[in-house]
Structure 1
């Protein structure tokens, strides 16, 4: 089953790959590794804003992280000229959670992204990862996640 068919089966659709909001590129390919810039939590044109541990629950943060996973896959698709079958595996994610100073559930929030990637890609979705807190994120978003992917 293709990646996009699996996404549809799970009730998800890939957004269009977003354009950079500042002086950077959305991805850089070095050999067979694709480094994807941080994707922020958004649904369509609406940003998912909030601070986990204050006005947002862990579950809401994990849902925001799932939208980052879709953004990452959209960038991989763009980098692969629309051919997601070239995606071999997720190598590493770095997740940032806009959270209160005493919040300690960053791994559970970033699991929203990790779980979606494993659900869609199976073993190829398993990856190394960091999940850290941030006092603030761009545009007040709840989550930002960057990734490294192996492509053919």
Structure 2
């Protein structure tokens, strides 16, 4: 599974002012609605519900919020780079500035887990995170996120 199959260029955004975890999740709602046609409020509610089960801040400034939806046909993603980190109740108690959200069909068991594992592995690479943090341009961020797939395929 390549990130380019689950992430669209229009689902990548740099956010200058998200003052809280809830505000960041609202940004993901807006992004999911504009890029994939999901209802923003439903996305926010699903992400908040998932966060209530345990935080998805995985450490080192990275969060991987995710939720399932009936109206989806395949797993899709959205990426936000924050100019100012926010508290996300991460496992290392550090604020996050990189967030990759996954939205999966209600019945997508293995597909959802594979996508989550792929994104997690990708964002565990310190060099990739450093490139993302150094390039606050949505088109460049999309290229950085998906270039590894092209290199491996070659």
Q: What TM-score comes out, normalization by structure 1 length?
A: 0.30
More helix by share: 2
The structure whose RCO (Cα within 8 Å, separation 6+) is larger is 1
Give the TM-score of the pair, scaled to structure 2: 0.30
